[in-house]
Amino acid sequence: MSAAEALVLRDVRRSFGPTVALDGATCRVRRGTVHALLGENGAGKTTLMNIAFGLVRPDAGDVLVDGAPLHPRSSADAIAAGIGMVHQHFKLVRAFTAAENVALGGHGRFDARAVAERMRRIAGETGLSVDPEARAGDLPVGAQQRLEIVKALAHDARVLILDEPTAVLAPAEGDDLLGWLRRFRDAGGTVVLITHKLREALAVADDLTVLRRGRTVLESARASVDEGAIVRAIAGDDSRDDSRDDSRDEVRHEVRGRAPSTSLAPPAKRSRTAVPTGPAVLALADVGYVDDRGVERLRGATLAVAAGETLGVLGVEGAGQRELLRILAGRLEPTTGTVRRPPRVGFIPEDRLHDALIPELPLHENLALADAGHLRGLIDWGAVVQRTAALIGRFDVRASAPTATADTLSGGNQQKFVVARERAVAVDALVAENPTRGLDLRAAALVRAGISGRDADAEPARAPAVVFYSTDIDEVLAVADRVVVCFSGEVREIPRPADPNDRTPYARAMVGAA
Amino acid sequence: MDALLALWDGAFGSSYAFWSATLVRATPLLFVGLAVAVAFRANVLNIGAEGQLVVGAMLASVVALGGAGAPRLLVVPAMMVAGAAGGAVWAGIAAWLRRRFGVLEVISTILLNFVALALLSWAVRGPLQEPTGVYPQSSPFPPSSHWPFLLTGQRLHLGFALGVGLALLAWFLLARSAAGFRLRLVGAGARAARSAGGVAAERTITRVFLLSGACAGLAGASEVGGVTWALYEGLSPGYGYTAIAVALLARLDPRWVIVSAVFFGALDAGAAAMQRDAGVPSVVGQVIVATVVLLVLASGAARDRLPGGRRVPAGERG
């Protein structure tokens, strides 16, 4: 038993239904260190730490705190063991004051003055000051995050887990936070920093663990690895990767192989020289966006997409792609810069059940939904039902009737319907955000084919300009003619490498490696 | 058994019971039930029909009392306009509070009910009090402001026909018009309506508040113009609250609001007769009403049409 390790997660496994989130993940956090936990979207970083914090129970594996096994049944157990977690999306009661939030989860009488005193003492020791009287919801993001940390410290946390703490912060605030984490470590505290950003990890971490597809692929002291090795661990190297995750490989083969036997695969990619160079349908010039909390989400974005061309977009969560896609789709107006886009741009949002469809309404009303903003007078529902029937026939949407409610369709058919609708209302341009998320292979292939609009008989000039974002690098590389990567609000085009299967330059750009 | 017979007789036992008791009592419920149904369809939880009714009644009374000597053909429509405007203004306050400050309408509309009742209380002791200053009520309205009866010898008045017409119009517009479609979309999924349809959801919601309030205001105008011919406190025995039951029983369908309002009107008339003839307290009628509503809600028939999850109030939108 080594008490030098403040927190150990050993060979942890966890599935959610058919999805294996963690498949033998291990993470050893030495006391008095900053430990970076790295990995791509969906690698299992957050799930692993949620297990340490008692929010998720592992199917197998051990959690040890200070060398002693811990079986947290709720976060209260983890907090009692000295673990604090600051989630990416803060868990504050917005209507409560800062002091009330700090007191939350405590026992006995709530004494506002005692809590405020405790907060002042913590502020004196750590420099993290938050007005105890302020309402949490009124605080700026940086202060909300400080409050989360103060809350953990007020519960005597010795191990602080921070999930993507800088994603919500402006760069200067992020640097301040990293500086604070160093000081907290120097005072004997232990930090687990979940991050997408390599620069951060390299700047503050003493040790690091890399997860890929739920498994630990690299554990090392910061000093004994170089950046390249970390990037390779994060992105994986297909030739040497004996992946047991067959489904993903299948996607890769199916997409890249473009088996001629099936119409499901996207049409063969034209050679690079055949990429249309016609006039841009979508164009951004020096576009910036500042969100309503004053955080700069996008700056200096410049790009153009021509008819028949597919622009792939990559980026880790919070890197600015969400705003980029919405500006291109006309769902968001930029703060600065100019946008050129057709009057209607089709948009396939990530959250189709909230942003694209109304599940309890029939399909034909969901079709009319796309025009609802500018319909006038009376609606000829008979004609709408006919149009719906034609559309679901053409795009092979499996529905019992054009008047069936959307929630009677499978996820794949719902998404095919959304694609069909957006193609129908906007013929010139289409923006797709993670459109195959949660779909099986066949449905995903059909959705990709629908989005590309390159039907066998369609001329490239008639095909729409497409912007395609996915969290799956391989999928983006397979469908895109050109690829841009978002990192910290900047949008950079990364030229296709000589080997079309080489994802390393993209993986590097996504984590901000030079 | 006697009590149930008395209930039935009071509601349907004679042509007078039906035309002059049941349908007359159904009339205000028709307007307020419609007001609630339309609002709920857009997921606007207007539970302030009571206050909107009262303000509508006050403004209609001002027109009625000031319109002495003017032709009935002018005064009655002017009362309708005044009543609708009063209700719309009252609901408009809640709409503004929600849009400007993110105040939930469940809270603002119910509080505005008390404000409206206090205003009525003040009006009938102040500016609108009868000249002797003894009773807390207005002078009797001049005949030019009495809404015409629909049948000779019966108390059924123009308000009922107006309410039925309005309900059918509302049903048609919801089912067929683009504006009605937008209203339903905002109620069923405001996020998708905004994102996929480019619907100006906030504007739609404001309009729904105004329409719903106008409808409830008409109930007030119809009561003072068609039944009481004077303004006094206690004008509404809680029609604005019964309205919620009327709308839910109708599954928020304007056509069924007609049926549901008549049903509640019959129970009301019957309960009054039951108390009079069989000595059974009229609260038994209310128990029946409550039981019916609970059964309907529990049956799930209404559930699928009820507003789903709440939207995020304007102030908290991320």
- The arithmetic mean of pLDDT across residues B145-149, rounded, is 95
Please write the tens of the pLDDT for every residue from B85-98.
999 999 999 999 99
A270: helix, coil or strand? coil
Measure A406 CA to nearest chain B CA, in Å: 13
Please give the pLDDT value at position A199: 82
Q: A169 with A53, same domain?
A: yes
Q: Where are the alpha helices (DSSP H) in A212-272?
A: 227-235, 246-257
**CATH code assigned at A35:** 3.40.50.300
Question: Is residue A503 situated within a structural domain?
Answer: no
- The arithmetic mean of pLDDT across residues B49-76, rounded, is 94
Q: A71 with A199, same domain?
A: yes
List all residues 6 or more positions away from A436 whose beta carbon is below 8 Å from its beta carbon: A415, A443, A444, A447, A448, A470, A472, A475
How far apart, in whole angstroms, are the C-alpha atoms of residue A317 and residue A486?
Answer: 10
Q: Is the pLDDT of residue B283 over 50?
A: yes
**Residue of chain B minimizing CA distance to A141:** B318
Question: Is residue A242 situated within a structural domain?
Answer: yes
Q: Where are the alpha helices (DSSP H) in A23-170?
A: 45-52, 75-80, 98-103, 112-126, 141-154
- In the listed set A262, A277, A302, which residue is the last one of a domain according to the structure? A262
What's the total number of domains in chain A? 2
Q: A253 with A359, same domain?
A: no
**Residue of chain A minimizing CA distance to B186:** A358
Q: Are B185 and B197 in contact (CB under 8 A)?
A: yes
Nearest in space to A337 (alpha carbons), one of A279, A283, A295, A293: A283
Interface of A with B in 208-247 (CB under 8 A): none
Please write the tens of the pLDDT for every residue from B51-64.
999 999 999 999 99
How far apart, in whole angstroms, are the C-alpha atoms of residue A339 and residue A7?
Answer: 49
Question: Is residue A495 situated within a structural domain?
Answer: no
Q: A57 with A164, same domain?
A: yes
Does domain B2-316 sit in CATH 1.20.120?
Answer: no
Q: A246 with A384, same domain?
A: no
Nearest in space to A238 (alpha carbons), one of A212, A264, A269: A212
Nearest in space to B120 (alpha carbons), one of B206, B27, B51, B211: B51
Please give the pLDDT value at position A485: 94
- In the listed set A231, A262, A293, which residue is the last one of a domain according to the structure? A262
Please give the pLDDT value at position B308: 43
**pTM recorded for the entire structure:** 0.75
Measure A312 CA to nearest chain B CA, in Å: 22
Q: Which residues, listed in sequence order, are joined to residue A285 by a DSSP beta bridge?
A: A338
Q: Which of B188, B197, B200 sits opposite A360 (nearest CB)?
A: B188
Question: Is residue A100 situated within a structural domain?
Answer: no
A170: helix, coil or strand? coil
- In the listed set A407, A425, A443, which residue is the last one of a domain according to the structure? A425
Measure B178 CA to nearest chain A CA, in Å: 5
Please give the pLDDT value at position B301: 52
Q: B67: pLDDT confidence band, cut at 50, 70 and 90?
A: confident
Q: Are B29 and B265 in contact (CB under 8 A)?
A: yes
Q: A254 with A373, same domain?
A: no
Q: What number of CA atoms fall less than 13 Å from residue B47's CA on the CB side?
A: 14
What number of other Cβ atoms are within 10 A of residue B43's Cβ?
A: 22
Q: Is the pLDDT of residue B310 over 70?
A: no
Q: Which of B178, B189, B196 sits opposite A379 (nearest CB)?
A: B178
**Furthest CA-CA distance within chain B:** 62
Nearest in space to A237 (alpha carbons), one of A511, A436, A508: A508
Q: Are A297 and A491 in contact (CB under 8 A)?
A: no
Lowest mean pLDDT among A39-53, A166-180, B20-34, B204-218: A166-180
List all residues 6 or more positions away from A467 whose beta carbon is below 8 Å from its beta carbon: A282, A305, A310, A311, A313, A325, A328, A429, A430, A431, A432
Residues of chain A with pLDDT under 50: 1-2, 238-274, 456-457
Question: Is residue A334 situated within a structural domain?
Answer: no
Cβ-based contacts under 8 A for chains A and B: 72
Chain B partners within 8 Å of A359 (Cβ): 189
ipTM: 0.86
Question: Is residue A112 situated within a structural domain?
Answer: no
Please give the pLDDT value at position A264: 41
Contact B181 A371 (CB under 8 A): no
Contact A372 B189 (CB under 8 A): no
Question: Is residue A213 situated within a structural domain?
Answer: yes
Please give the pLDDT value at position A89: 80
Chain A partners within 8 Å of B103 (Cβ): none
DSSP assignment of B260-308: HHHHHHHHHHHHHHHHHHH---THHHHHHHHHHHHHHHHHTTTGGGS--
What number of other Cβ atoms are within 10 A of residue A401's Cβ?
A: 14
Task: Name the residue with higher pLDDT: B115 or B284.
Answer: B115
Question: Is residue A150 situated within a structural domain?
Answer: no
Q: Which amino acid is at A281?
A: V
What is the phi/psi pair of residue B85, to 5°? -65, -40
Contact A357 B192 (CB under 8 A): yes
Q: Which of B196, B198, B308 sits opposite A355 (nearest CB)?
A: B196
Please give the pLDDT value at position A243: 39
Q: Which pair of tokens denotes residue B105?
A: 């309408």
Q: Which pair of tokens denotes residue A102?
A: 């700090």
How far apart, in whole angstroms, are the C-alpha atoms of residue A490 and residue A470?
Answer: 17
Q: Which of B188, B195, B316 sits opposite A331 (nearest CB)?
A: B195
Q: Which of A357, A361, A375 sits opposite B178 (nearest CB)?
A: A375
- The arithmetic mean of pLDDT across residues B254-283, rounded, is 89
Range of the domain at A375: 353-425
Q: Is B304 on the interface with A (CB under 8 A)?
A: yes
Contact B195 A379 (CB under 8 A): no
Q: Is B300 on the interface with A (CB under 8 A)?
A: no
